[in-house]
Structure 1
């Protein structure tokens, strides 16, 4: 397989065929992210992708999921995406699920009918980084969209019958807007009602604007207990009709897995026990991305 630059995928795609169709991220301005810094966004040429499909046809027969890399494969023109998904269906017929990252820009570029066409060709799940539902925080981290646009994009994906997994970040609003960030994020998640919510805790990465702001004292990261209180407030404000709210990423101090609405009360109680010191938190040396 031809991989150019750094390759990233969601944790749930760990065992998937990783087919890189774009290089980098079409936005690449978020202040907390260093995944694609120094990489100019580009669409990979069709001949290279064709060669990778042939490789997968021979060597990836045990993997029934495929993930389109990199940061935003959905930005591909519809004609190219249709041809690509058709080729995957024809050449890798054992693949039962195709996933991709998506942002508001790429979702906005597709009509509802185009998204339904991609769904019918096998696109089953999209991963969208919300990070926060607080407009002031979204503006501060240069996310490129406000909460109303996030809701519109998320609902558009859901209406097309494509599963949606949304990522949010604890600590991204600093101490001073922690409560607002948590409640507003719960509001936006409830409005979108995705199948999956993945909660991560902010890790300050050298080389990012946010890390520089932290070193200079312009960004104050919440304490572990502050992160936990933020998680509780966010969960309390989130109402899903039938979705999973997981904070079991390696970055989190307290791993939780909740199926909402069924597990909401007991999960809030679990967090309360941790805030009281009855459950130990993950030590710093065990946290990671």
Structure 2
């Protein structure tokens, strides 16, 4: 397999075979993200991707059960190209149970529901989507490239096609100024299209990004550990589901996982207990790691 640049994947894809289908991110404007900032976006040829799949088959054998196709927003690929790759992957790996890609609402809206149904039939199991926030003002400030109403529309479309949707929420991305709106609006949007998974991340400034500069200059105020927990509590308290809530990232101050709404009381109780722990007991993630 050939890899270009740093390859990123969700923690839940730790055991997946990684086959780059695109390089970089076509949007690449999010003010908080430094993943692909210096990478020019391009789509790899179908022939190159197939060659990598054949190489992976020689190296791993046919027992591979999950594949993630980086980089950012691989869903942008033409439906014909992506379905061809998905079908070929199934030929190479007959025991496949899951194939996944990244896809934000900005690029999900380029496909019709019939396209998603074709992708589902070809074997696309799940789309990882960085919603980050349901608050339109926060979305505008961080330059996500879509609105909350577009996220709802696209979420319903993907779910209607039978493809799993894993949504990511960034705790603290609204700063102190919009922590309430960020939590309440994110819950509203998630409840409107009920993704299969809601995964929590806590915002950590990433050097070299515009939001990091705002943070350094005092224009953006990070949440303290207790403030992040309070925001998480407000978010969870307003979630209706049904979906799985997962806190599967090192950046988070709380390890809260469970099914919403069934396990919401236990999750809220855990957050309340953590709020009684002195703030200096919490480990802050160092921005130098990013």
Same-fold call, TM cutoff 0.5: yes
Residue 274 of structure 1 deviates from its aligned partner by: 1.1
Matches within 5 A, 1:268-279: 268-277=268-277
Residue 47 of structure 1 deviates from its aligned partner by: 2.9
Report what 1:49 is aligned to: 49
Report what 2:173 is aligned to: 172
Report what 2:14 is aligned to: 14
- Closer/same/farther in 2, CA of residues 192 and 96 from structure 1, 3 Å limit: same
Report what 1:73 is aligned to: 74
Are the aligned partners of 1:254 and 1:281 in contact in 2 as well (CA < 8 Å)? Answer: no
Report what 1:247 is aligned to: 247
Report what 1:120 is aligned to: 121
Are the aligned partners of 2:239 and 2:261 in contact in 1 as well (CA < 8 Å)? Answer: no
Residue 91 of structure 1 deviates from its aligned partner by: 1.7
Report what 1:158 is aligned to: 159
Matches within 5 A, 1:1-289: 1-61=1-61, 62-241=63-242, 243-277=243-277, 282-284=282-284
Q: Distance in 1 between matches of 2:285 and 2:229?
A: 18
Q: Distance in 2 between matches of 1:185 and 1:197?
A: 11
Gap regions ≥5 residues in structure 1: none
Q: Deviations over 1:229-256 (max 9, x none)?
A: 0000001111102x11112310011111
Q: Distance in 1 between matches of 2:144 and 2:45?
A: 28
Are the aligned partners of 2:187 and 2:238 in contact in 1 as well (CA < 8 Å)? Answer: yes
Gap regions ≥5 residues in structure 2: none
Aligned residues between the structures:
288
Q: Deviations over 1:1-60 (max 9, x none)?
A: 111111111100011010101000111100000000110110112332122011111122
Residue 86 of structure 1 deviates from its aligned partner by: 1.4
Residue 284 of structure 1 deviates from its aligned partner by: 2.1
Are the aligned partners of 2:23 and 2:39 in contact in 1 as well (CA < 8 Å)? Answer: yes
Q: Distance in 2 between matches of 1:36 and 1:281?
A: 34
Q: What SS does structure 2 have at the residue aligned with 1:214?
A: helix
- Closer/same/farther in 2, CA of residues 141 and 8 from structure 1, 3 Å limit: same
Are the aligned partners of 2:11 and 2:248 in contact in 1 as well (CA < 8 Å)? Answer: no
Q: Distance in 2 between matches of 1:47 and 1:124?
A: 22
Are the aligned partners of 1:203 and 1:251 in contact in 2 as well (CA < 8 Å)? Answer: yes
Are the aligned partners of 1:3 and 1:20 in contact in 2 as well (CA < 8 Å)? Answer: yes
Q: What SS does structure 2 have at the residue aligned with 1:269?
A: helix
Residue 105 of structure 1 deviates from its aligned partner by: 2.6
Are the aligned partners of 2:46 and 2:85 in contact in 1 as well (CA < 8 Å)? Answer: no
The list of structure 1 runs, each at least 4 consecutive aligned residues, that deviate by more than 3 angstroms after superposition, is 278-282, 285-289
Are the aligned partners of 2:31 and 2:211 in contact in 1 as well (CA < 8 Å)? Answer: yes
RMSD: 1.7
TM-score, normalised by the number of residues in structure 2: 0.95
